[in-house]
């Protein structure tokens, strides 16, 4: 085995919340965790926004800094818990005035601007559903998500609205209100000035009764065979956000936390908004994109104590010729965590060597709503491993025997499907409007995650790969079908097959193989045109970075594109079982 990073009380800067992993697992109960939260006054249920904001305002945390927002241009805005309560109350009242009720979907399409955080919390207070979108999506992915998610309201900016949503309005008849965060006057056709609405709204609001099982957040995630799936989360998910904040991220009252993920993705909402606020700590939000010097200076100047980031960012930092601890005072930093893609063992060790702290990898996904497998501050790290299941979570490697049965693999080191025992609070409750797809995820009493993994003799889980064709690029999931469908809308394209091509920095890049219609000749000009066409439709987060022309795409006899074969050929790997390959290829 590779080097183990040993943990002992000598290595702790602050005593971790989780001191004894085995003992905590043995006595863990979700009912007891619930008692550490507040609940709505007069027994009116459990609401994420109450736990994240209002409950702190009743006590000594009232004037504690909740969010420090760092603008791209150097502007800084501070929100105490008291301010955050007022702003989110106003937003909840704005929704009420617009006739937006419990269960209605409120989408946010914006960069990391303060209104995004206020929209999230105000929507949850109103018991409407918060649905974040990534601002680098193009019109087509946005249309899919807004349409499937039954969007009634979108909070966005003037530029994003004009560029990406205005042209979709005819196809989105249920979209009633567009709230622009950066205009002072209404623009007609349901396009309203958010500042104007906010200034006319009361800052008093009483959160209505919220059942812990009420739907709270809708997160879209990419599928391999179809369009994106809307994973539904409920207010009870806050128990997972809370306990992972306590045991994994190890929040202590004076911590300053920075999660670099965008709230358009699940990490950015569960941990870039909810978990730190539930713990009443200070949450740093940086509006700007990755920039190594900027990031190190944020760690220094904001005295970040806990940092949650992603392997792509860490690999980019590793490639820079910067000696961070010589140039920056990072002495306040005590924990680094990473999620979203496999974290190379070298990166864990780089952290130890260059930043003086190992990087703690953890694993979870949109459907799980919160961290499920993790490396903990008090537990030895095996670099390259995702760690051990969260107390309260049962994880296993299983083999499918048939459509309804699995067997749990007991021998260590055997590869299989990574599965979780259903029932944790932040487990997704459905794929919106797609029960069949939801039910397919559960086999023989286990939730099958779609990842392949191994478990060693000591219970550490090791990621092997995806069991499907989903692409992970810069930590973001991209469904090949979505990209193929967009390319096929170009008049020159007959068919497209899309794969993830391994990349040393961003994990995988999106590569498309395109076969052209009869009579169309491949050329560099056409390739560039297709790259631009896809980028315009899909946005930079999803569009292919490489396009290769191909005569015919390899297909199964039933007509499915064999993406695995495209990938094997791209990488010069064995082609595997070709018995289902259509012979005309």
Q: Give residues in contact with ligand AMP (CB under 6 A).
A: 221, 265-266, 339-343, 361-363, 365-366, 386, 449-451, 463, 466, 472, 477
Smallest distance from ligand AMP to CB 372, Å: 9
Measured distance CA(376)–CA(18) in Å, rounded: 8
Smallest distance from ligand AMP to CB 222, Å: 8
Under 8 Å between Cβ of 241 and 126:
no
The radius of gyration of the chain from alpha carbons, rounded to an integer in Å, stands at: 24
Closer CB to ligand AMP, residue 466 or residue 527? 466
Smallest distance from ligand AMP to CB 138, Å: 18
Closer CB to ligand AMP, residue 104 or residue 367? 367
Closer CB to ligand AMP, residue 305 or residue 362? 362
Coil, helix or strand at residue 455: strand
Smallest distance from ligand AMP to CB 398, Å: 15
Smallest distance from ligand AMP to CB 228, Å: 11
Smallest distance from ligand AMP to CB 499, Å: 15
Q: Residue 206: CA atoms inside 13 Å, Cβ hemisphere, count?
A: 5
Closer CB to ligand AMP, residue 444 or residue 450? 450
What is the residue-wise DSSP string for 362-427? EE--GGG-S--EE--TTS-B-TT--BEEPTT--EEEEEE-SSS-EEE--STT--EEEEE-S--TTS
Measured distance CA(422)–CA(445) in Å, rounded: 7
Residue 450 zone, left/alpha/beta (φ > 0; ψ -120 to 50; rest)? left
Terminal Cα distance for the chain, rounded: 44
Closer CB to ligand AMP, residue 160 or residue 541? 541
Smallest distance from ligand AMP to CB 339, Å: 5
Q: What is the DSSP letter of 174?
A: T
Q: Which of 463, 465, 468, 486 minimizes the C-alpha distance to 541?
A: 486
Measured distance CA(524)–CA(378) in Å, rounded: 55
Under 8 Å between Cβ of 484 and 513:
no
Q: Residue 497: CA atoms inside 13 Å, Cβ hemisphere, count?
A: 24
Q: What angle do CA 338, 340, 342 make, to 5 degrees?
A: 80
What is the residue-wise DSSP string for 461-482? EEEEEESS--EEETTEEE-HHH
Six-digit token pair at 175? 């979209």
Smallest distance from ligand AMP to CB 67, Å: 23
Q: Residue 169: CA atoms inside 13 Å, Cβ hemisphere, count?
A: 14
Closer CB to ligand AMP, residue 140 or residue 361? 361
Closer CB to ligand AMP, residue 334 or residue 337? 337
Closer CB to ligand AMP, residue 258 or residue 265? 265
Closer CB to ligand AMP, residue 336 or residue 339? 339
Closer CB to ligand AMP, residue 231 or residue 333? 231
Handedness of CA 46, 52, 54, 58 (dihedral sign): positive
Closer CB to ligand AMP, residue 311 or residue 391? 311
Smallest distance from ligand AMP to CB 578, Å: 26
Smallest distance from ligand AMP to CB 371, Å: 9
Closer CB to ligand AMP, residue 322 or residue 464? 464
Q: Which of 76, 96, 463, 435 minimizes the C-alpha distance to 287?
A: 76
Give the burial class of 558: count Cβ atoms within 10 A of its Cβ; 0-12 exposed, 13-18 middle, 19 or more buried.
exposed
Give the burial class of 494: count Cβ atoms within 10 A of its Cβ; 0-12 exposed, 13-18 middle, 19 or more buried.
middle
Smallest distance from ligand AMP to CB 408, Å: 20
Six-digit token pair at 103? 């269960």
Closer CB to ligand AMP, residue 117 or residue 463? 463
Smallest distance from ligand AMP to CB 475, Å: 8
Measured distance CA(189)–CA(192) in Å, rounded: 8
Closer CB to ligand AMP, residue 47 or residue 221? 221
Smallest distance from ligand AMP to CB 373, Å: 8
Q: Residue 253: CA atoms inside 13 Å, Cβ hemisphere, count?
A: 4
Under 8 Å between Cβ of 216 and 130:
yes
Under 8 Å between Cβ of 275 and 249:
yes
Residue 178 zone, left/alpha/beta (φ > 0; ψ -120 to 50; rest)? beta
Smallest distance from ligand AMP to CB 199, Å: 37
């Amino acid at each position: 085995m590779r080097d183990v990073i040993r943990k002992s009380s000598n290595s702790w800067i602050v005593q971790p919340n989780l001191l004894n992993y085995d003992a905590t697992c043995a006595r863990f109960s979700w009912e007891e965790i619930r008692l550490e939260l507040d609940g709505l006054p007069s027994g009116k249920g459990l609401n994420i926004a109450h736990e994240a904001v209002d409950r702190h305002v009743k006590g000594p945390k009232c004037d504690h800094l909740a969010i420090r927002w760092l603008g791209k241009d150097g502007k800084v805005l501070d929100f105490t818990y008291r301010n955050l309560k007022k702003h989110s109350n106003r937003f909840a009242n704005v929704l009420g005035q617009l006739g937006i009720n419990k269960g209605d979907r409120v989408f946010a399409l914006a960069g990391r601007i303060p209104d995004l955080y206020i929209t999230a919390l105000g929507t949850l207070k109103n018991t409407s559903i918060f649905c974040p979108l990534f601002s680098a999506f193009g019109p087509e992915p946005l249309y899919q998500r807004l349409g499937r998610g039954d969007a009634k309201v979108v909070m966005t900016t003037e530029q994003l609205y004009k560029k990406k949503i205005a042209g979709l309005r005819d196809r989105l008849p249920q979209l009633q209100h567009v709230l622009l965060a950066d205009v002072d006057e209404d623009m007609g056709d349901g396009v309203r000035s958010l500042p104007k609405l906010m200034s006319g709204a009361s800052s008093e609001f009483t959160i209505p009764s919220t059942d812990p099982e009420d739907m709270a957040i809708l997160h879209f995630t990419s599928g391999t065979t179809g369009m994106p799936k809307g994973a539904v989360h409920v207010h009870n998910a806050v128990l997972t956000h809370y306990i992972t904040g306590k045991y994994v991220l190890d929040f202590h009252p004076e911590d300053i936390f920075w999660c670099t993920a965008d709230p358009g993705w699940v990490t950015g909402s569960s941990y870039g908004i909810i978990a730190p606020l539930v713990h009443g700590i200070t949450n740093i939000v940086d509006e700007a994109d990755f920039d190594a010097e900027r990031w190190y200076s944020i760690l220094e100047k904001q005295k970040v104590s806990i940092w949650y980031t992603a392997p792509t960012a860490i690999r980019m930092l590793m490639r820079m010729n910067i000696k961070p601890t010589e140039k920056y005072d990072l002495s306040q930093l005590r924990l680094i965590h990473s999620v979203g893609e496999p974290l190379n063992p070298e990166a864990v060790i780089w952290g130890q060597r260059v930043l003086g702290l190992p990087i703690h990898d953890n694993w979870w996904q949109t459907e799980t709503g919160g961290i499920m497998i993790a490396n903990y501050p008090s537990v030895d790290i095996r670099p390259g491993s995702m760690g051990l299941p969260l107390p309260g979570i049962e994880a296993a490697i299983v083999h499918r025997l048939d459509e309804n049965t699995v067997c749990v693999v007991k021998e260590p080191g055997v590869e299989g499907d990574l599965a979780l025992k259903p029932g944790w609070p932040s487990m997704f409750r459905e794929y919106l409007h797609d029960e069949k797809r939801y039910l397919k995820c559960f086999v023989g009493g286990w939730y099958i995650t779609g990842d392949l993994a191994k478990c060693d003799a000591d219970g550490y889980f090791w990621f092997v790969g995806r069991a499907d064709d989903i692409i992970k690029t810069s930590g973001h999931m991209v469904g090949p079908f979505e990209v193929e469908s967009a390319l096929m809308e170009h008049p020159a394209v007959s068919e497209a097959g899309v794969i993830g091509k391994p990349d040393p920095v961003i994990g995988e890049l999106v590569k498309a193989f395109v076969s052209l219609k009869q009579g169309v000749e491949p050329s560099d000009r056409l390739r560039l045109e297709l790259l631009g066409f896809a980028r315009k439709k899909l946005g930079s987060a999803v569009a292919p970075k490489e396009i290769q022309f191909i005569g015919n795409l390899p297909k199964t006899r039933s007509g499915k594109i064999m993406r695995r074969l495209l990938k094997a050929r791209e990488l010069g790997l064995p082609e595997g079982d070709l018995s289902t390959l259509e012979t005309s290829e």
